[in-house]
Structure 1
Amino acid sequence: MIAATKDIAHPVEAATVMRLFPTRPRLLALGEPTHGEDVLLDVRNELFRQLVEQEGYRTIAIESDCLMGLVVDDYVTSGTGTLDEVVERGFSHQWGAFPGNRELVRWMRAYNDGRPASERLRFAGFDGPLEITGAASPRQALTALHTYLTAWADVDLLPCAADTLDRLLGADDRWANPAAMLDPSRSVGRTPEAQQLRLLADDLVTLLDAQIPQLLAASSPDDWARARLYGRTATGLLRYHFWMADPSSGRMARLLALRDSMMAANLFAIAERGPALVAAHNGHLQRNKSTTRMGGLPLQWWSAGAIVSAHLGDGYAFLATALGTIRHHGVDAPPPDTVEGVLYALPEDRYVVDPRRLATALATMTPAARVSPWFGYSPLDPAHVADTDGIVFVKDVPAG
């Protein structure tokens, strides 16, 4: 088996990766099977540098709060703020604490220095303002959208004044109450105020679309794009809070699906700017249904990658990352009859594999599914290897 697979392992380089696809994808998705490992961020950063320098990519989008990501984008494009401030305020999920993310921001700012706007790199978060423990207040997105429309649209067409939004929103900690994730009755998502906010948010987004000729003539393209982001985020958050208040058994599956739907909407907007590298967990980027268990119940939903792939076709490509060992988390060498086990037997430390050629090499065996002893690592599913466009394999993950 080792001899049959030696010629399918190639360096993780932009030129090698691009040969996997029939055309240059608008969104090249690089998944990871676990979060927080520095080596995976190093692989991502080096691939992004090469895609920028050799393939004309200009944007990187990561699994982080889309509104917080604007802080990073302002810094890398125009130098607003300091590096320390940006990595502290520009990432959700505590991603700013990882050296690889800091280095990414530093390099992007250095690359952009002195370049014209058309050649500058852009940064985006494409996750909603969501955490495992709950969802943010829609205040930031709603008020920013209202402010933009007040400045550039016909004011008489606005559905409400700013103070009406403020009154209906109330205290932000009511929205972000972590108890609401486990107890639907603690959510404010179906209160009369929240229901009215959903209608107003819909009217504001409709006005944004209806006034597009005037808005594009009066404001900058970036301001318009940000207003669209505020609109998507406001309506998405209000929808998410509504279903947080749902007491039915389908509640968690719906919330997971809503999160990935919000991610997909952001990815469509990012694709409009030109080719981008997208970095997130494999589960958000894969083409097959995502699955998990919560409270003993199996849950299924379509990932952001599956949604985007259905729309973009060859414009979307997915590289799944797999790992050999994460010994500091008890993940030792994979069994030889698993896909990871076959790849682990090769001598290289990290490489990219064409799944079609891998399938040919594995034709004489039926790979077993690897079982991770650590919940934080998601092994490859051998039944869906063919649904990827490439596999990035990292043999051993050093302790951080």
Structure 2
Amino acid sequence: MDGLEEFGAALDGVRVVGLGESTHGTAEFFRLKHRLFEHLVTEHGFRTLAMEASASAGPAVDAYVRDGTGDAATALTGLGFWTWRTREVLDLLEWMRSYNRGRPRADRIGFAGIDPQRSGTSVAHFGPERAGVLSVLADAQPGRLPERRAELLAAAEALEAEASGASGAPGDADRWHARVLARAADVATAEPGERLWRVRDGHMADAVDETVAAADGAGVAVWAHNGHVGVRGAALGARLRERYGPAYYALGLFFGEGAFRARRMWPGPWGPRLKRPSRVAVNRIGPAGPDTLEALLAAASPKSADARLTDLRSRAHEEWTRRTYPTRTHGAYVARFVYRRNVMPVVPGEEYDGLAYVPVSTPSRPL
């Protein structure tokens, strides 16, 4: 991997590293983040992987990697995100378990989910009688229940009060699961658009804070989309930059050409409203246009299939880092027919602390 030494040197004083991705379905991104997390653990003392995945189901993954409880595939499936049910992510969890085997508990690495979505484990913790109307949060999609906002937030507030001891409810587990459901209620009932983005990323930032506190001084790696780890606007990364300053390092991941997995939906405002589930498809894409960030990274990269890392903190004086470039961005869903034209503007030196580039993207491998 070209640039790993430069990347490692830039981490002096860094406590949180955001590991981005411009698609949720590129095998090379997942393998690269695996390699980077290994490097952070073995060379920089990082101890936790915090993932854009179900906070509610995260403890089951943590129990597997720390203690071998259950099995990796079941725990991974429990996170509720098709994007992570892949061979590449499973390999990472198996490496984490292998690393921990035989080590003292204080030296083991762990896992945390940070996304309020998919809160079925927390609903099951309380059971249908105590969870009541909050049971809908087991599978509720972000921004899909704005008409029930008052009802669900009131129920979440009551459950939090009960779990905090107002009615004699026992235990840290009650308080933790009640907090997860309160965040899930806020995300499920937020108005779609900018407000939903702010609400979800704000709660993920709070979950990262809690993970950092639990790490007791050790570093935390955050696995999420480029749009979350970057430091613009109200994104997760912007909150982390506000809270940790230069101790937060945002690494954006980009690719040249190839294919990636994503669900396809019809373009236009009606697409996301269709009730039938979109299928996960392999989406092919050619080389990026000549004025894009990807084209710039391709021109600066050696002709190899390996990844290249570029630290931007050491290049802040270079004019190219302050220019605006269009760059590709694809999430769990893409608009069929037009996804190849889906770009957003980015000033790399203002949004990221480092860039990673892989020449060819191949689809992640589903379990």
TM norm. shorter chain > 0.5? yes
Matches for 1:50-199 after TM superposition, within 5 Å: 50-89=39-78, 91-130=79-118, 139-140=123-124, 143=126, 165-166=130-131, 169-170=132-133, 172-173=135-136, 176=139, 181=143, 184-185=146-147, 188-191=148-151, 194=152, 196-199=154-157
1: CA distance, partners of 2:224 / 2:36? 14
Note closer, same or farther for the CA distance 1:363–1:257 as it changes in structure 2 (3 Å cut). closer
Unaligned runs of 5+ in 1: 1-9, 145-161, 216-222, 245-249, 290-301
Deviation readout 1:152-179 (Å, 9 max, x if unpaired): xxxxxxxxxx95x35xx1583587466x
1: CA distance, partners of 2:67 / 2:8? 30
Note closer, same or farther for the CA distance 1:355–1:276 as it changes in structure 2 (3 Å cut). same
Q: Does 1:281 align with 2:269?
A: no
| SS in structure 2 of the partner of residue 381 of structure 1 | strand
Question: Taking every aligned residue pair, what percent have the same amino acid on both sides?
Answer: 23
2: CA distance, partners of 1:308 / 1:364? 21
**What is aligned with 2:196?**
255
**What is aligned with 2:351?**
387
| SS in structure 2 of the partner of residue 115 of structure 1 | coil
| SS in structure 1 of the partner of residue 347 of structure 2 | helix
Note closer, same or farther for the CA distance 1:378–1:102 as it changes in structure 2 (3 Å cut). farther
Deviation readout 1:38-77 (Å, 9 max, x if unpaired): 1111000011112111111111111110111111111111
**What is aligned with 2:10?**
20
**What is aligned with 1:4?**
none
Deviation readout 1:262-316 (Å, 9 max, x if unpaired): 1111100111112111111011111102xxxxxxxxxxxx111111210111221
**What is aligned with 1:11?**
2
Note closer, same or farther for the CA distance 1:374–1:88 as it changes in structure 2 (3 Å cut). same
1: CA distance, partners of 2:14 / 2:342? 25
| SS in structure 2 of the partner of residue 335 of structure 1 | coil
Q: Is the CA contact 1:66–1:127 (under 8 Å) kept in the aligned structure 2?
A: yes
2: CA distance, partners of 1:31 / 1:309? 15
Q: Is the CA contact 1:137–1:237 (under 8 Å) kept in the aligned structure 2?
A: no
Which amino acid is the alignment partner of residue 111 of structure 1? Y
**What is aligned with 2:237?**
305
1: CA distance, partners of 2:123 / 2:98? 33
Tell me by how many angstroms 1:386 deviates: 2.9
More deviation, 198-207/269-278: 198-207
2: CA distance, partners of 1:271 / 1:377? 37
Q: Is the CA contact 2:117–2:139 (under 8 Å) kept in the aligned structure 1?
A: no
Unaligned runs of 5+ in 2: 261-282, 330-336
Q: Is the CA contact 1:260–1:284 (under 8 Å) kept in the aligned structure 2?
A: yes
Which amino acid is the alignment partner of residue 393 of structure 1? Y
**What is aligned with 2:290?**
336
Q: Is the CA contact 1:284–1:305 (under 8 Å) kept in the aligned structure 2?
A: yes
More deviation, 338-347/256-265: 338-347
2: CA distance, partners of 1:370 / 1:96? 23
Note closer, same or farther for the CA distance 1:127–1:370 as it changes in structure 2 (3 Å cut). closer
Q: Is the CA contact 2:20–2:250 (under 8 Å) kept in the aligned structure 1?
A: yes
Note closer, same or farther for the CA distance 1:205–1:183 as it changes in structure 2 (3 Å cut). closer
2: CA distance, partners of 1:380 / 1:358? 23
| SS in structure 2 of the partner of residue 369 of structure 1 | strand
Q: Is the CA contact 1:334–1:344 (under 8 Å) kept in the aligned structure 2?
A: no
Tell me by how many angstroms 1:206 deviates: 5.0
Deviation readout 1:188-238 (Å, 9 max, x if unpaired): 4333xx454233234246549xx9xxx9xxxxxxx84x5554243122123
1: CA distance, partners of 2:58 / 2:25? 18
Note closer, same or farther for the CA distance 1:314–1:11 as it changes in structure 2 (3 Å cut). same
| SS in structure 2 of the partner of residue 261 of structure 1 | helix
Note closer, same or farther for the CA distance 1:365–1:69 as it changes in structure 2 (3 Å cut). closer
Q: Does 1:326 align with 2:317?
A: no
Q: Is the CA contact 1:30–1:319 (under 8 Å) kept in the aligned structure 2?
A: yes
Note closer, same or farther for the CA distance 1:252–1:203 as it changes in structure 2 (3 Å cut). same
Note closer, same or farther for the CA distance 1:360–1:239 as it changes in structure 2 (3 Å cut). closer
1: CA distance, partners of 2:157 / 2:186? 11
Q: Is the CA contact 2:53–2:81 (under 8 Å) kept in the aligned structure 1?
A: yes
1: CA distance, partners of 2:96 / 2:120? 28
Q: Is the CA contact 1:205–1:231 (under 8 Å) kept in the aligned structure 2?
A: yes
Q: Is the CA contact 2:232–2:351 (under 8 Å) kept in the aligned structure 1?
A: yes
Q: CA RMSD in A?
A: 3.4
Which amino acid is the alignment partner of residue 202 of structure 2? S
Q: Does 1:200 align with 2:188?
A: no
More deviation, 259-268/333-342: 333-342
Note closer, same or farther for the CA distance 1:316–1:360 as it changes in structure 2 (3 Å cut). closer
The one of 308, 317, 320 aligned to 1:351: 308
